[in-house]
Amino acid sequence: MTPVRLEIADGVAVLTLDRPRQRNAFTGETGRRLGELYRQLDEDDDVRVLVLTGTPPAFCAGADLTAGADAFAAPTDTEFSASPVNPPAFDLRKPVIAAVNGHAIGIGLTLAMQADIRIVAADAKYAIPQVRRGVVPDALSHWTVPQATGSAAAADILLTGRTFDGAEAVRLGIASRCLPADEVLPAALATARDIAVHTAPMSVALSKRLLWATLRHGFTPEQVGDHETELHHRVMGTADAAEGVRAFVDRRDPRWAARISTDWRELPWE
């Protein structure tokens, strides 16, 4: 049994955290498998968008606590990292949508915070409660959460470890939308399929890279302007730049030519 189930259809890869009896509690194997799939799918030109979700009724209930008081025993593995999914979702060149269709607690929520887009269940529970367990928030959440919510809301979330619902998650900036739980995955898939068909893969990859690099490096507006100009030099005059206009004028779905696996070139800030 694998802790992450993979299904691919119509350019969309759905990765499902699949330990329903444990409410998809996160283990080291979950992290390793998710990282492997992220790397594999990032190189697969037939995959345009990734959707991360969980087998109902939870998205991910947090770390597996079956070891009881030893759940957070001192690590003996020299490879231990508080960021157990490598690469994180924001380092992929393809959009990652977190379809948070149930409770997301601890690393369940910090993992979702690495996605580009988050849709949450309205009546589920959300928390990053590590400070209430004697440990510290993980998965780069001291960076992702304040980027999404601002420092004041991040302090509220990370330092109290309190629980909130989907509506508050949207108000805080944790998510873009909250819906009834059974509508979360269909909404995420609809968005993913729209991206897969109507957006140019190279354009999306370049835009995502610049978006996250701006957050990571704190680019000034002038630097962003320079980098946007550099990226325009890469895409203007290409087959996809012509195809995007033709498809729009002809009112048909575009047929994109660029391939991430073979046409990608490193960016100047990387």
28: exposed, middle or buried (Cβ count in 10 Å: 0-12, 13-18, 19+): middle
Whether 149 shows a pLDDT value over 90: the answer reads yes
pTM of the shown model: 0.95
Please state the rounded mean pLDDT for residues 232-251. Answer: 97
% of residues, the chain, pLDDT over 70: 98
Summarize pLDDT for 167-194 with one digit per residue, the tens. Answer: 999 999 999 999 999 999 999 999 999 9
- DSSP code string of 47-109: --EEEEEESTTEEE-SB--TTGGGTTPPP--TT--S--SSS-GGGSSS-EEEEE-SEEETHHH
Any idea which of 21-25, 46-50, 92-96 has the lowest mean pLDDT? 21-25
Whether 79 shows a pLDDT value over 90: the answer reads no
Please state the rounded mean pLDDT for residues 15-29. Answer: 95
Q: How confident is the model at residue 111 (pLDDT cuts 50, 70, 90)?
A: very high
Token reading at 131: 């400070």
CA distance 156 to 140: 17
* Run of H or E residues at 36: helix 28-42
Whether 1 shows a pLDDT value over 80: the answer reads no
**4-195, CATH topology level:** 2-enoyl-CoA Hydratase; Chain A, domain 1 (3.90.226)
Say what the pLDDT of residue 67 is.
67
Count Cβ atoms below 10 Å from residue 259 Cβ, excluding itself: 11
Contacts of 187 (CB under 8 A, 6+ apart): 99, 119, 177, 179
How far is C-alpha 30 from the chain's CA centre? 15
Please state the rounded mean pLDDT for residues 103-107. Answer: 97
Whether 48 shows a pLDDT value over 70: the answer reads yes
Looking at the DSSP bridge assignments, the partners of residue 177 are 119
Looking at the DSSP bridge assignments, the partners of residue 117 are 97
Contact by Cβ (8 Å): 241, 199: no
| Residue 139 vs residues 79, 88, 142, 152, 168: alpha-carbon distances, Å | 15, 8, 8, 20, 22
Residue ranges of the domains in the chain?
4-195, 200-263
Of 62, 6, 57, 65, the closest CA to residue 36 belongs to: 6
The span from the first CA to the last CA of the chain, in angstroms, equals: 37
The residue ranking higher by pLDDT, 1 or 160, is 160
So what's the architecture of 200-263 in CATH? Orthogonal Bundle (1.10)
Q: How confident is the model at residue 70 (pLDDT cuts 50, 70, 90)?
A: low
| Residue 230 vs residues 7, 210, 212, 225, 270: alpha-carbon distances, Å | 36, 11, 16, 9, 14
Summarize pLDDT for 120-136 with one digit per residue, the tens. Answer: 999 999 999 999 999 99
Of 72, 53, 65, 83, the closest CA to residue 22 belongs to: 65
Whether 64 shows a pLDDT value over 90: the answer reads no
Q: pLDDT averaged over the chain?
A: 95
Of 260, 195, 265, 263, the closest CA to residue 230 belongs to: 265
Whether 16 shows a pLDDT value over 70: the answer reads yes
Say what the pLDDT of residue 215 is.
95
Tell the residue number behind the tokens 């990734």, with chain if given: 50
Contact by Cβ (8 Å): 50, 16: no
Please state the rounded mean pLDDT for residues 66-87. Answer: 80
Which three-class secondary structure state does DSSP give residue 16?
strand
Summarize pLDDT for 203-227 with one digit per residue, the tens. Answer: 999 999 999 999 999 999 999 999 9
- DSSP code string of 202-253: HHHHHHHHHHHHHHHHT--HHHHHHHHHHHHHHHTTSHHHHHHHHHHHHTS-
